[in-house]
Amino acid sequence: MWQLGTGEERARVAIVGCGGAGCNVLRRVVAPPNALRIALNDAVPPSIADVPTRILVSGASLQGYASMDEKSVPQMETDEEKQISAALLDRDVVLILGGLGGELGGWGMGLVGRVARILGDTTLALATIPFGLEGPIRRGLAEAQFRLLQRRVDGVVTFGNDPLLQVAKDLPMSKAFAALSAIMARPASNLPAALGRADVAPLRKTLARVKDWRYGMGVGREKHRCFVAVEEAYASPWFTPVPEEIRHAIVLMSVLEAGTDEGEILHEVQRRSPQAEVAWASLPHPPGDERTIVQIFAGL
């Protein structure tokens, strides 16, 4: 077990939204002072007008660029790569947001991962997966992009669209997608705030040890708030159904009582996943908020 963010110097983080889905998540991200938001898309919709760094690309060429092997083609040759490289300059960690199955977002995520790997950055991708009923072509494209992304980045956290049917079944689809974007924006906002520069190397090793990462979040109140928050996180629709299989866990928490609540939350995580190596951080707690919030990245 090790605590994140104990050093004074903060990790320098880039949060990159790729394509329409990634930019929809990005606009909801509240970036801490040590993080920079970057939008990669083929246009500048009003939703990302306030994003300080924007990279315009054409979806037609992204697959070929993203698929170039960094060992065979170790140098960045294309204008797109050079633009991405300039945006990622002096960053330690790159968080990549997007949706798999489209012509731009999925390949764009792979290209950002390629550039970040050449630069030596630690990388984590948060990616949506199409509905199972969307057809074999889109599912096949998403699978190819997912396999490429696994080779390009240190870790991939997946968010399937199918669970939206159970958590937002009474909402119109546009609002259900907006709800998923808001869910993904929370870890993209909070993980950068938790990281110190001393965490970058061990985080990369942790992410690279497993290829299947999941995310869960829970909220608890009053007397049994810690138990309830962890229980809800483990019950999240994008989490793993077998807690005992978790080998690595990154736990972010916002607690009412520092020390007491943190210890109880970590105990509850280890009780459910006794084999897990745990990295954890306590986030600032908003004044007047009576909730305890727990977020867990689980590596299987």
Q: What is the pLDDT of residues 216-268, one digit of tens each?
A: 999 999 999 999 999 999 999 999 989 999 999 999 999 999 989 999 999 99
User: Tokens 């949506």 map to which residue?
Assistant: 128
Compute how many other C-beta atoms are within 10 angstroms of the C-beta atom of residue 224.
12
Residues 163 and 242 in one domain: no
Residues 37 and 130 in one domain: yes
Distance CA 120, CA 208 (A): 14
For the chain, percent of residues with pLDDT exceeding 90: 76
Residues 222 and 189 in one domain: no
Distance CA 82, CA 118 (A): 12
* Confidence check: pLDDT of 74 > 80: no
What pLDDT shows up at residue 91?
A: 98
The pLDDT confidence band at residue 93, using thresholds 50, 70 and 90, is very high
Q: What is the CATH number of the domain that holds 276?
A: 3.30.1330.20
* Confidence check: pLDDT of 133 > 70: no
Distance CA 82, CA 271 (A): 47
CB burial readout 134-169, b (16+ within 10 A) else e: eeeeebebbebbbebbbebbbbbbbbebeebeeebe
Distance CA 297, CA 138 (A): 27
Q: For the chain, what is the mean pLDDT?
A: 93
Distance CA 33, CA 273 (A): 33
Distance CA 197, CA 284 (A): 19
Number of domains in the chain: 2
Residues 17 and 132 in one domain: yes
What pLDDT shows up at residue 166?
A: 75
Straight-line distance from the first to the last Cα atom of the chain, in angstroms, rounded to the nearest whole number: 17
Residues 32 and 125 in one domain: yes
The domain of 246 spans: 213-299
227, burial (CB in 10 Å: exposed 0-12, middle 13-18, buried 19+): middle
Residues 201 and 178 in one domain: yes
Our measurement of the distance from residue 121's CA atom to the centroid of its chain's CA atoms, rounded to an integer in Å, reads 15
Distance CA 188, CA 195 (A): 12
The pLDDT confidence band at residue 48, using thresholds 50, 70 and 90, is confident
117, burial (CB in 10 Å: exposed 0-12, middle 13-18, buried 19+): middle
Residues 200 and 108 in one domain: yes
What pLDDT shows up at residue 210?
A: 92
Residues 51 and 145 in one domain: yes
What pLDDT shows up at residue 215?
A: 98
